[in-house]
Structure 1
Amino acid sequence: MFDLDRWREIFQTLSKNKLRTALSGFTIAFAILLFTLLFGMGNGLKHFFEREFSGDAMNSVYINSGITTKPYKGFQSGRRIQFRNDDTKFINEKFEEDIAFFSPNIQRNNVLAIYKGNQNRYTVRGVYPDYQPLESAVIEKGRFISFLDLKKRAKVLAIGRLVEEDLFGNKSALGKNINLDGISYQVVGVFSDPGGDNDERFIYTPFTTAQGMYRENDELDYFGLTYNPKLSVDQALSFTSMLTKMLKEKHGVDPRDQGALRVRNYAEGAKNVQQFIMVLNVIILFIGIGTLIAGVIGISNIMVYIVKERTKELGIRKALGATPKSIISMIMQESIFVTAIAGYLGLMMGVFVLKGIGDNLEKYFIVNPSVETYVVVGATIVLIVAGTIAGYIPATRAARIKPIVALNDE
């Protein structure tokens, strides 16, 4: 039950002992502030690495052709490997169970795009509809390339958000025609990409359309695919190795030749990032626990000192009829109140500092440093419990002292 007189007494005690109250509050606020900053910086590091890998699906694989560096089966070194449409059929037939999404690709760089008086140069990619999840592209308007577009060899485009901004300003590009190297294409979709500005300046068109325009004899540039998400990281790496081996056999490449085919599997990078984040979480946890322990020790020492300093006061209270229970309750309420208020102030200061410096830390690999509210609230509760225990033990001892002994205490 709320006791107004008790709270008046507590506020009176705090106001009479401003320095003591300020030191107690500072210890608690500083512990929570430091805890918030450490966790915020740790989360900022995690956000940086997560962002770096967000531009593509974490289970994506890209296969590029190269130049042979070793002679093999009558072929000389220095031979360029050329992918063709039959490689598409080969990969899908051999690894149907292991592949989730698949797209052969044709890429043309520095293509001039014109819309009325505006023009700029972009990278144009001819892809299958399956390429959208590979790049984690999010359709903002309209749609992506469809299989019907592939069948009809339609002259349609899905353009990045910044392409729309460059060529159309504040107007929508949907349904408008863009001229690419003298040929008119209709915009059927606008996408955004978590990979950032560079990925939002790509233009996608149907693979069959791009192949007819830019390649001869069913040639293509590279493959992109995502492996079955049911595969573990080790299974995904094994799948990639087998795929590379079979493609080398198909194209007459020495198995030891590292230059003929270049396979980039995001699974390995994802595994390394996961391990790094796990280690980082452990380090942050230990630092956070250490910070809290330091705060607990500080609160405990202050509470012991406070109770000892008030021994005479407690003796007078007992002499006037105060029960041990009421004395303990008063000290506990005071302890909890100071800890809660100081903890909240420390939390607010920590959040304010993180917001203030957040945009300036990207060069140190820290992005959006922040901390979940429940984490800091939990830390504050730990300090409140610690403050309660720290106040309870000496308060219990003080409440047992006889008034005459307490009054004679120096």
Structure 2
Amino acid sequence: MRWLTTLEQFLHDLKAQRLRTTLTILGITWGTVAVVVLLAFGVGFERQTRKNMHGMGDGIVVLFGGRTTRPFQGYPDGRPVRLREEDARLLQREIPAIEAISPEYINRQTPVRRGRAVTNPAITGVYPVYGRLRNIIPEPGGRFLNEQDLKLRRRVVVLGDQIKKLLFGDEEAVGQQVYIGQTPFLVVGVMQPKIQNSSYYARDADRIFIPASTFRVLFGDRYVNNLVYRPVDPDLSDRVKRAVYVTLGRRYRFDPADEDALGIWDTNEMDRFVKYFFLGFNLFMGLIGSFTLTVGGIGVANIMYVVVQERTREIGIKRAVGARRRDILGPFFLETFLIVAVGALLGFLIAYGIIQVAGALPLQEEIGRPELSPMVATVTVGLLLLIALLAGYFPARRAALLDPVECLRS
């Protein structure tokens, strides 16, 4: 019954002070929209950035040979370190914290043709696990390289999606032949298009992939261009890198502390940077939105102070007949929460509409799709509850502390 009485009083105040209450509710509405939309865009931008980054692979490390800068065990400085395919097996065996590793051979001098269509892609010789490391997912109906391809040195090829378009256009490629130089290869897969905002040598869309064993036979390369590996846990990445320097330093006779002896591109470092960058970015966006919401909360507090002033005599009568302070506090708190709830509901509905419209715009590859995630909803509701609590507490406390005698005199 108390709830119904408070609701009736709220509706009466809304009707009596229609403009004032409406403006106050709109203040909360606009504040809610600001918080939700800004955080939703922040979350969408973060996820799109991570997706673009992970087009090259999730948590991978690219290892290149370098040049020594320190003498070591009688060997002079300035020696090149050139990696071999067996280094991949050595690191996999010696460092249990490496989940998967693949050598990577590259050739860009040999033309690839199909009929009259000719191109010079980055011909890449790899292990089957490379597809999983680098997020190279074949289109339905095709596949990536497998262990039998590697073991039997099969002449099979997986095409990047752009190379497929150059050679085949809209025709089906899987099951057809292409020529690498004068050697025919069977197309077993075509890579699904993916967003990739970073690369080395070439984008995956402009590559073709063949088994490392077939590459060695075809081109006779002794050295790999690089190795690609992934730690079992991104937090172990630094420890794995130290172990890589120790293991290869022992093999190639260089000081493990000589960082220039190897070149390492650790994508986990960028992941950590992005994590903390977007933590600060989203906090900043939330702070901007919360300022707008705070202004709305100040409006709610002001209207409740006015309500207290208007009900001074009513409060005095209640206290005179035995009402306790909490009986005075409750209705004011409840009315405050009703104002905030109405404004918040309108704000969520408007914000949802804005997010849906923004998500339909062709800007997702640049800024991502704004998303009303559970985190965004939780933060917004938490801010609204805090605003409602503060906006209701001080006017309600003032009402509860009024002297009954002074109230009846007014």
Q: More strand per residue: 1 or 2? A: 1
Specify the alignment match of 1:201 in structure 2.
206
Matches within 5 A, 1:3-402: 10-11=10-11, 13-44=13-44, 46-47=46-47, 49-67=49-67, 80-93=80-93, 95-109=94-108, 112-116=111-115, 118-141=117-140, 142-192=142-192, 195-196=195-196, 198-216=203-221, 218-229=222-233, 232-249=236-253, 253=254, 259-280=260-281, 295-309=296-310, 334-353=335-354, 367-373=368-374, 375-376=376-377, 379-380=380-381, 382-383=383-384, 386-387=387-388, 390-391=391-392, 394=395
CA-CA distance at 1:256 after TM superposition: 6.9
Q: Deviations over 1:295-325 (max 9, x none)?
A: 544422332224424657x58x98xx9x999
Give the alignment's TM-score, normalised by structure 1: 0.75
Contact 1:300–1:386 under 8 Å retained in 2: no
Cα distance in structure 2, aligned partners of 1:115 and 1:9: 81
- Cα distance change of structure 1 residues 233 and 306 upon mapping to structure 2, 3 Å threshold: farther
- Cα distance change of structure 1 residues 349 and 255 upon mapping to structure 2, 3 Å threshold: same
Contact 2:138–2:190 under 8 Å retained in 1: yes
Q: Deviations over 1:336-392 (max 9, x none)?
A: 4432232133234445555666779899x8544444255335534652574367447
Report SS of the residue matched to 1:375. Answer: helix
Report SS of the residue matched to 1:91. Answer: helix
- Cα distance change of structure 1 residues 406 and 200 upon mapping to structure 2, 3 Å threshold: farther
Cα distance in structure 1, aligned partners of 2:26 and 2:257: 65
Cα distance in structure 2, aligned partners of 1:145 and 1:242: 31
Report SS of the residue matched to 1:140. Answer: coil
Report SS of the residue matched to 2:144. Answer: coil
Q: Which moved more, 1:205-214 or 1:256-265?
A: 256-265
Q: Which moved more, 1:206-215 or 1:294-303?
A: 294-303
CA-CA distance at 1:131 after TM superposition: 0.9
- 2:20 corresponds to which letter in structure 1? R
CA-CA distance at 1:125 after TM superposition: 0.9
Report SS of the residue matched to 2:121. Answer: strand
* Fraction of identical pairs, as percent: 25
CA-CA distance at 1:293 after TM superposition: 5.1
- 1:60 corresponds to which letter in structure 2? I
CA-CA distance at 1:157 after TM superposition: 1.6
Count of aligned positions: 399
* Superposition RMSD in Å: 4.6
- 1:206 corresponds to which letter in structure 2? P
- 1:238 corresponds to which letter in structure 2? R
- 1:18 corresponds to which letter in structure 2? R
Contact 1:157–1:186 under 8 Å retained in 2: yes
CA-CA distance at 1:103 after TM superposition: 1.2
- Cα distance change of structure 1 residues 302 and 258 upon mapping to structure 2, 3 Å threshold: same
Q: Which moved more, 1:220-229 or 1:105-114?
A: 105-114
Cα distance in structure 2, aligned partners of 1:375 and 1:347: 11
- 1:213 corresponds to which letter in structure 2? L
Cα distance in structure 1, aligned partners of 2:289 and 2:250: 50
CA-CA distance at 1:214 after TM superposition: 2.0
Cα distance in structure 2, aligned partners of 1:15 and 1:117: 80
- 2:157 corresponds to which letter in structure 1? L
Contact 2:107–2:124 under 8 Å retained in 1: yes
- 1:55 corresponds to which letter in structure 2? G
Q: Deviations over 1:195-237 (max 9, x none)?
A: 5273333321111111211234x43322112233386344233
CA-CA distance at 1:332 after TM superposition: 5.8
Contact 1:60–1:266 under 8 Å retained in 2: yes
Report SS of the residue matched to 2:122. Answer: strand
CA-CA distance at 1:146 after TM superposition: 0.8
CA-CA distance at 1:38 after TM superposition: 3.9
Q: Deviations over 1:33-88 (max 9, x none)?
A: 23224423543553355235413444422222245567777877766544334434
Cα distance in structure 2, aligned partners of 1:112 and 1:257: 39
Contact 2:38–2:286 under 8 Å retained in 1: no
- Cα distance change of structure 1 residues 18 and 113 upon mapping to structure 2, 3 Å threshold: farther
Give the alignment's TM-score, normalised by structure 2: 0.75
Cα distance in structure 2, aligned partners of 1:330 and 1:88: 72
Cα distance in structure 2, aligned partners of 1:56 and 1:14: 57
CA-CA distance at 1:91 after TM superposition: 3.3
Cα distance in structure 2, aligned partners of 1:343 and 1:110: 63
CA-CA distance at 1:246 after TM superposition: 2.8
Cα distance in structure 2, aligned partners of 1:44 and 1:294: 26
Q: Which runs of 5+ in 2 are unaligned?
A: 198-202
- Cα distance change of structure 1 residues 110 and 300 upon mapping to structure 2, 3 Å threshold: farther
Report SS of the residue matched to 1:143. Answer: coil
Report SS of the residue matched to 1:241. Answer: helix
Cα distance in structure 1, aligned partners of 2:83 and 2:383: 62
Q: Which moved more, 1:44-53 or 1:131-140?
A: 44-53
